Amino acid sequence: MTKAFETTNRFLQQAFDVLDLSEEEVILLETPSREVKVELIIRMDDGSMGNFIGYRVQHDDSRGPFKGGLRYHPQADLDHVRSLASLMTWKTALIDVPYGGAKGGIQVDPTQLSLAELERLTRRFTQRVHEFIGPTTDIPAPDMNTDASVMAWIFDEYSNHHGFNPAVVTGKPVDLHGSHGREAATGRGAMYAIREVLERDGRGLEGTSFVIQGFGNVGSWAAKLLHEAGAKVLAVSDIKGGIYNPDGLDPLAVLEHAYETSSVVDCKNSEPVSNEDLLELECDVLVPAALGDVITEENAADIKADYVLEAANAPTSFEGDQILNERGVTVVPDIYCNAGGVTVSYFEWAQNIQHFSWPETRVNAELEKRMIAAHKHIRGLKNKHDVSLRTAAFIGAIERVREATTMRGLQ
Ligand SMILES: NC(=O)C1=CN([C@@H]2O[C@H](COP(=O)(O)OP(=O)(O)OC[C@H]3O[C@@H](n4cnc5c(N)ncnc54)[C@H](O)[C@@H]3O)[C@@H](O)[C@H]2O)C=CC1
Ligand SMILES: O=C(O)CCC(=O)C(=O)O
């Protein structure tokens, strides 16, 4: 077993222990259903040959078609993609959308590719995996370094092979069968998640201070929506570095600066802070919204926040999580915190199948209902079993997947 997948399974094991599952059941629930590895050869703009590796790991489909994002990143190796695919199984079950879990990845630094090269790479990947994906089998979506344009290319390329079918992929542009509210959904869901957790503790978003690592889709939407809700965003960062203002940043001004300069760095009314130091700033809520494995045994003891809101997938190592728990820091786990994305992906898929479009108000209201319901579910299990929010979330998810697996039976 490799590291990222092993970490996911160690977290799962804490819930398996509470549920007293047999070894056979553990193997069944942990093991991915199918792993596809493809070589991707493309013509680069300068005429040379580009050679990349892509993955699609389909973890579990007992509750519905495989579902999960596609990541473009140099570290998107089989171990990471496998771990992220497993997390999708538990996320879709916890938030109760009729899907299983999958994830895709291409090992590439997309900043080194032109737009035309990225399109060729995406189309080649779709050509290599089109037999394994489909509206009732496996539905990709955006993740790190992929966006609505990438989803549009997948939709188009898939349609070249199978005929028009926008429900093969979610997170598409709104004008190309995408859903209103999908782009903001993960950040919005994270905002609802922390609002529910704070309310339970007799606190509110108004005046609560946040520090956010990552200012891409998830981080920037979370910053904007939290600011609108009256919270104070003290610091944000991207891969190039961070910015800090103890009186609070204006996320809209930061967005404008990032749009113009491709980074948050050097935004006016802020001082610089490194990505490492940002994690240890004084604040109420720390929001990792970029890469995984950033809170570890190296820095968990130095985190000053009362809450860690896991907008990223797998931002906390097993040891880091133990330290945070021992110190009384409340961790709002990834499979709940960032489930808003796949929830609105589900709404998009349902709209595509019905050839019907929802207004954004309906999307946001339905998302809010599901985030509130999942929080109540997790809270009940936490109290029942006296476990962390993470273990409670896994228990809730495992119970649903286990039940579906049992009802479908073995051959
Ligand atoms: N996009 C979505 O709907 C969902 C995303 N997520 C998770 O949220 C996280 C962020 O995803 P997106 O916002 O979609 O990606 P993105 O590609 O839009 O943005 C990523 C951000 O992280 C920053 N970043 C990258 N490497 C970094 C590093 N080493 N240190 C600090 N910052 C770094 C980038 O500069 C960028 O600001 C990922 O863990 C992803 O799996 C989870 C659920 C859904
Ligand atoms: O929207 C989706 O289908 C999945 C998004 C995703 O990759 C995730 O939740 O980690």
Smallest Cα–Cα separation from 236: which of 193, 261, 190, 273? 273
> How many whole angstroms separate alpha carbon 342 and alpha carbon 345?
5
Q: Which domains are assigned to the chain? A: 3-9+31-165 (3.40.50.10860), 183-332 (3.40.50.720)
The annotation status of 232 as a binding-site residue, yes or no, is no
| Of 3, 37, 103, 382, catalytic | 103
Three-state DSSP state, 333: coil
Which of 7, 57, 95, 144 to probe ligand 1 with, by most ligand atoms within 8 A of CB? Answer: 144
For ligand 1, atom 30, the nearest C-alpha belongs to 239
- Identify which ligand lies nearest to the alpha carbon of 344: 2
**Torsion angles phi and psi, residue 267, rounded to 5:** -65, 145
Which ligand has its closest atom nearest to the C-alpha of 141?
A: 2
Q: Flag whether 91 is marked binding.
A: yes
User: Average pLDDT of 9-36?
Assistant: 97
Confirm if 350 and 363 have CB atoms less than 8 A apart: no
Give the atom of ligand 2 at the shortest distance from the alpha carbon of 342.
Answer: 1
Residue 86 marked in a binding site? no
Taking CA atoms only, the protein residue closest to ligand 1 atom 2 is 143
Q: What's the gap in Å between 354 CA and the centre of ligand 1?
A: 31
Residues 194-202 have a mean pLDDT of 98
Res. 183: pLDDT tops 90 = yes
103 is catalytic: yes
Q: What is the mean pLDDT of residues 245-262?
A: 98
Q: Which two three-digit tokens encode residue 79? A: 């171990």
Q: How far is the CA of 35 from the centre of ligand 1 (A)?
A: 24
**Burial label, 376 (beta-carbon count in 10 A; 0-12, 13-18, 19+):** exposed
Neighbouring residues of 5: CB distance < 8 A, sequence distance ≥ 6: 79, 82, 83, 86
C-alpha of residue 144 to centroid of ligand 1, in Å: 5
Residue 410 pLDDT level (bands cut at 50, 70, 90): confident
Kindly tell me if the per-residue pLDDT of 212 is higher than 50. yes
pLDDT surpasses 50 at 204: yes
Find out whether 246 and 214 touch, Cβ atoms under 8 Å.
Answer: no
Q: In angstroms, what is the span from residue 354 Cα to ligand 2's centroid?
A: 21
| Residue keyed to tokens 């920037």 | 220
Interface predicted TM-score (ipTM) over 0.90: yes
Tell me how far apart the alpha carbons of residues 53 and 396 are, in angstroms, rounded to a whole number.
35
pLDDT digits (tens, 9 = 90+) for 299-313: 999 999 999 999 999
pLDDT of residue 319: 97
Dihedral angle, C-alpha 202, 208, 209, 215, nearest 10 °: 100
User: Which mutation among 55, 87, 138, 143 tests ligand 2's pocket best, with the greatest number of atoms within 8 A of CB?
Assistant: 143
Ordered alpha helix ranges (H), 263-359:
275-278, 318-326, 334-337, 340-354
Annotated ligand binding at 345? The verdict is: yes
pTM over cut 0.95: yes
217 is in an annotated binding site: yes
Q: Which two tokens stand for residue 367?
A: 């998302």
Q: Does ligand 1 have an atom closer than 6 angstroms to the CB of 290?
A: yes
SS3 content of the chain, % helix, strand, coil (to 5): 50, 20, 35
Q: Within a 13 Å sphere around the CA of 113, how many CA atoms are in the beta-carbon half?
A: 25
Closest ligand relative to 338 C-alpha? 1
Q: What is the pLDDT of residue 1?
A: 40
Ligand 2 centroid to residue 153 C-alpha, Å: 18
The pLDDT of residue 2: 52
Residue nearest to atom 24 of ligand 1 (CA): 239
Q: Which mutation among 72, 91, 237, 238 tests ligand 1's pocket best, with the greatest number of atoms within 8 A of CB?
A: 238
142 CB near ligand 1 (under 6 Å): yes
91: CA distance to ligand 2 center in Å? 9
In the three-class reduction of DSSP (H, G, I as helix; E, B as strand; rest coil), residue 216 is classed as coil
DSSP state for residue 295 in the 8-state scheme: B
With a pLDDT cut of 90, the percent of the chain lying above it is 99
Predicted local confidence at residue 276, as pLDDT: 97
> Cβ < 6 Å from ligand 2: which residues?
67-69, 91, 141, 143, 170-171, 313, 338, 341-342, 345
